[in-house]
Amino acid sequence: MITDLDVHTGGVDALASHTVVLTGSHPEYHSGRILDALEQFRDTGGRIGYLGGNGFYWVTGVLDDEAPVIEIRRGHVGIRTWASEPGETDVVSSWEPGGLWRFRGRAPQRLVGVGMAAQGGDSRLYRIHDDARAAAPWFFEGIAGSVIGDTGFIDGNAAGDKLDRVDADLGTPPGTVVLASSGNHPEGIQRAAEELLQLFHGSASGPNDPDVRADMVWFETPGGGAVFSAGSISYLSSIMADDGDNSSSRALRNVLNRFLA
């Protein structure tokens, strides 16, 4: 087990003895040092499994490495419970602009292929893309049918709570394989505020917006690294459904076998 603080203080050296690094379900807050370390790890042959959603989202400062105080300045946009006061958007730990990494040119898509797209209290299954089996046949070993994640402990499915999707404009790498995607989310699943310039009644909810979805993706880097992203907070809650005998668990097993081969 390696903590965020270990990576913040130790950089890529904290990861260097490992082949594979897996996140938890909701890795939302990261400093620039952590992002630097993960990028270097990935680009020099490391393998990252991003097993959640809403990750790598807020610019996060650390005031003191020895007795850490975590600092967040939420700015004026993003999924948040409070907004910064005028003049209070810079993190004093490093005097960098706070807010979303997306607006610092470091959207999550650049690191793990997907980034925050929508949130709400419901989960759906993933549907396998028609061309995905040919692009990554190893991923589907032991997975019959056309869906992944149709069991789980959050509303019975694996794609929900907060959802991440691909976006080439925000940095999803060329060659990324979208393995499966959720869809048909209900009215209560809404697009993230930072995604939209204007709102119209009903336009940003699950039934009316094709970008309200989770994308499950895979890509490799020129340096021999690789990334698998589940794109959903609910995904990890699904892997132990039916005592682990389910498609979400088999997919993760196939990913780990590929990472460790």
Among 21, 100, 93, 18, CA closest to 55? 100
> What amino acid occupies position 238?
S
Task: Quote the mean pLDDT of the chain.
Answer: 94
pLDDT of residue 114 exceeding 90, the answer is: yes
pLDDT tens, residue by residue, 221-237? 999 999 999 999 999 99
Percent of the chain with pLDDT over 70: 100
**Residue 203 pLDDT:** 72
Are 118 and 206 contacting, i.e. CB atoms less than 8 angstroms apart?
A: yes
Contact call for residues 235 and 166 (beta carbons, < 8 A): no
Reported confidence tier of residue 204, pLDDT bands at 50, 70, 90: confident
- Residue predicted with more confidence, 122 or 42: 42
Nearest 5°: the CA angle 219, 148, 166 is: 35
> What pLDDT is recorded for position 121?
84
Predicted pLDDT of residue 188: 87
State yes or no: pLDDT of 260 exceeds 90.
yes
- Give the per-residue pLDDT at 38: 98
pLDDT at residue 194 above 80? Answer: yes
Q: Which residues contact 109 (CB under 8 A, 6 or more apart)?
A: 115, 166, 167, 170, 171, 172
Both structure tokens of 78: 């993003």
Q: Average pLDDT for residues 43-71, to the nearest whole number? A: 94
Of the two residues 187 and 259, the one the predictor is more confident about is 259
Question: Tokens representing 233?
Answer: 């907070």
**For residue 61, which amino acid is it?**
G
Residue type, 9: T
50 — pLDDT class (breaks 50, 70, 90): very high
State yes or no: pLDDT of 96 exceeds 80: yes
Is residue 33 scored above 80 in pLDDT?
A: yes
The pLDDT tens digits of the residues spanning 170-189 come to: 999 999 999 999 999 998 89
Beta strand 147-148 pairing with 126-128: antiparallel
Output the pLDDT for position 94: 87
pLDDT digits (tens, 9 = 90+) for 67-79: 889 999 999 999 8
pLDDT at residue 67 in the model: 80
